[in-house]
Each structure stands twice: as C-alpha cells, then as structure tokens.
Amino acid sequence: MTTDDEQWMRAAIGEARLAEAKGEVPVGAVIVHAGEIIGRGRNLRETTQDPTAHAEMIALREAARALGSWRLTDTILYVTLEPCPMCAGALVNARVPRVVWGCDDPKAGATQTLYTIGNDARLNHRFESVPGILGGECGALLTEFFAAIRANDDSRDGR
C-alpha cells in the first residue's frame, strides 16, 4: 500500500457516498492514469434499472472515452468493494494492470474471495490485485447502509 493508494481510495469512497445519497448500494470506483482520475463511477443499478451499472463498469466506460481507447493499459482501478465476476471480466478485457479494492465481497468477489479472474493464467491478460486498502471504512459504508435498510423494513412491519 502507498499513500497514493489511500488518496485514490478516498476518491472512490467519495463516489460511494454519492451512490448512497441516491439510495444506491454505496460502491464507488475511480480509474487513475498518469496521476489523474480519468474515470469515475458509482453504483447506479436502481437509478438506471441497468444490471450492468456497477461502479467499475461506469468508471471503465468513462476512462475509455477519456483515453480514446478500450485498452486501459497504464491505469489503476480503485474500488470500494471487491469486483464481481462481470466487473473482473471487464477489467481483464480492458487490460487494466492493477486493481485495488477496499473490502472483500464474500457473496460475489471475483478477484480473491470466490474467484481469481484477474490472475487466471488461462486468460489473455492478468492484473495485480491489491486488497484491503481502507477496508474497514469501505466495509462500514456497506454495513451501515444495509443495517439502515433492515431497520427501515422492521419499522414498516410494526416490529
């Protein structure tokens, strides 16, 4: 971990907070190239009713537009939650060389927890995986979000 990793993860946390403010699951991502953010994303599945509107996917699209290329070599993705299989596959396809995340995803994690898509030698590209950057803070965002939903559901049920 570097101080840059913390700095960029804080930017991803900012994106997650923006998602939460819209009632979305608080996951945020940024893509950094040459010391600048070239792609930002936050979960927007509920807002857009698009199953592919994950933070990473949105950040990848924005970064590709910024660079004028689908090949995102020389970039780093920072995301608050370990990428799922769809996002990990997109990161492989985009040739992202380094993926940094905050907290592991025990239900859908595809870079370390359930699968290791980014390190699968059968694929044509692999990426460096860096877990746990500001993991406690990233995990707390999700825990608090879902606790609030459960509390709200309990109050509606008269419990």
User: Using one digit for the tens of pLDDT, what is the confidence trace for 9-59?
Assistant: 999 999 999 999 999 999 999 999 999 999 999 999 999 999 999 999 999
Other C-beta atoms within 10 Å of 118: how many?
23
What pLDDT does residue 152 have? 84
30-54 per-residue burial string, b: 16 or more CB within 10 A, e: under 16:
bbbbeeebbbbbbbbbeeeeeeebb
User: For the whole model, what pTM was predicted?
Assistant: 0.94
Instruction: Please state, in angstroms and rounded to a whole number, the distance separating the CA atoms of residues 130 and 20.
Output: 24
Instruction: Please state, in angstroms and rounded to a whole number, the distance separating the CA atoms of residues 115 and 122.
Output: 13
Catalytic residues: 56
Residue 156 has pLDDT above 70, yes or no: no
Instruction: Please compute the mean of the pLDDT values over residues 79-83 and round it to a whole number.
Output: 98
> DSSP secondary-structure letter at 123?
S
Percent of the chain with pLDDT over 90: 91
Instruction: Please state, in angstroms and rounded to a whole number, the distance separating the CA atoms of residues 109 and 104.
Output: 6
Instruction: Please compute the mean of the pLDDT values over residues 75-99 and round it to a whole number.
Output: 98
Whole-number average pLDDT of the chain = 95
